[in-house]
Structure 1
Amino acid sequence: MKIRKADNTDCNRLSTIAYNSKSYWGYSQDFLDKCKEDLTVTVEYIKNNPTYVMIEGKEIVAFYSFSLSNEQLDALFIDPVYIGKGFGQLLWIDLMKRVKELGVKQFTIDSDPGAEGFYLKMGAEKVGYTPSTVFPQRSLPLLKVKVT
């Protein structure tokens, strides 16, 4: 397993992982279709935001991305085949190392309700709720992480 910076050729695979990972939580097809644009990773996005991929063998199996301007974890997605095998914790360790190197003292996460438990286990603190960017009537757990 290795982690490297994402490049322009990774966009399709990252978008697929994001979509499949979101579907892992049992959402309806209609819900997933409405989220598809938000789950699409573009070349422009990778160019403007720290984005890192995890490779197992020769395949990208997970990734995370971070918005420096908002000091927010934008994405942490794992191919469902690899969920529950410790890959999330390894990504988290890498994320924390990199944001610390960037001088970030704390950041937020607009968490999927299904992923909230993972982030709390990693040391995040729930500070409230925030409206979904796709469904404004839906609230997402708002978490804060102190970088130590």
Structure 2
Amino acid sequence: MTGPVLRPARPGEEEALSQLCLKSKAYWGYDAAFMAAVSPYLKITSEAIAAGYTTVAERKDGTLLGVCQIEPGSTKGNLDLLFVSPDAIGTGAGRALFDDAADKLRAAGDKVMTILSDPYAEPAYIHMGARRVAMRPSDVFKGRELPWLEMDL
């Protein structure tokens, strides 16, 4: 298989891309109650698509492999969402999306990419060059902490 094709997300893809995010998150064995609670936070927005902040990885035949959404900042941009379809893990889709996000944040003038990571995703981000700088409280679950990562751009 050749590498993934990256393209901007298109208006009207919000639901399909949000479903990909949920499918990817569920891969780690989270239960239905957990998934229902985090669902509102795993949305691809039409605003981000219109602003050019959402990128899709797909096969040449159009099969969705992953999605990434960024939020540029003044000097620190945020990797808001990066999800890969479970059947696309290991295909290079995640790395391609991560590198593309870093390039876009760098082009926007950001010097650092920040990531509030799922604990299961943290090793992949560290492998790609991010480092843990703190643990931060979850917005969803009281008492749960998540890795806060940064990568110099």
State the one-letter code of the partner of 1:44: E
Instruction: Quote the residue 2:18 is aligned against.
Output: 15
Counterpart of 2:47 (choices 44, 49, 54) is: 44
Aligned residue among 25, 42, 62 for 2:28: 25
Per-residue CA distance 1:62-88 (angstroms, 9 max, x = gap)? 111111146211000001110122221
Q: TM-score if structure 1 supplies the norm length?
A: 0.92
Which one of the candidate residues 84, 96, 102 is aligned to 1:96?
Answer: 102
Aligned match of 1:68: 72
**Contact kept in structure 2, 1:49 and 1:66, CA below 8 Å:** no
Aligned partners of 1:93, 1:41: CA distance in 2, in Å?
19
Give the equivalent residue in structure 2 for 1:119.
125
**Within-5 A mapping of 1:70-89:** 71-89=77-95
Quick one: distance in 1 between partners of 2:123 and 2:138? 18
Identity %: 34
Task: Detail structure 1 runs of 4+ shifted over 4 Å in the superposition.
Answer: none
Asked if residue 142 in structure 1 is aligned to residue 124 in structure 2, the reply is no
- Could you tell me how far 1:39 is from its partner in structure 2? 1.2
CA contact (8 A) 2:56 2:64 kept: yes
What is the TM-score of this pair, normalised by structure 2? 0.89
CA shift at 1:38, angstroms?
Answer: 1.0
Q: Distance in 2 between matches of 1:77 and 1:37?
A: 15
State whether residues 114 and 148 of structure 2, in contact with CA within 8 Å, keep that contact through their aligned partners in structure 1: yes
Higher mean C-alpha deviation, range 87-96 or range 120-129 = 87-96
Q: State the alpha-carbon separation in 2 of the partners of residues 104 and 7 from structure 1.
A: 25
Unpaired runs of at least 5, structure 2: none
The alignment partner of 1:94 has SS state of: helix
Matched length: 147
- CA deviations over 1:76-127 (Å, ceiling 9, x no partner): 0001110122221122222222222222110210000000000000010110
What is the Cα deviation at residue 49 of structure 1? Answer: 6.3
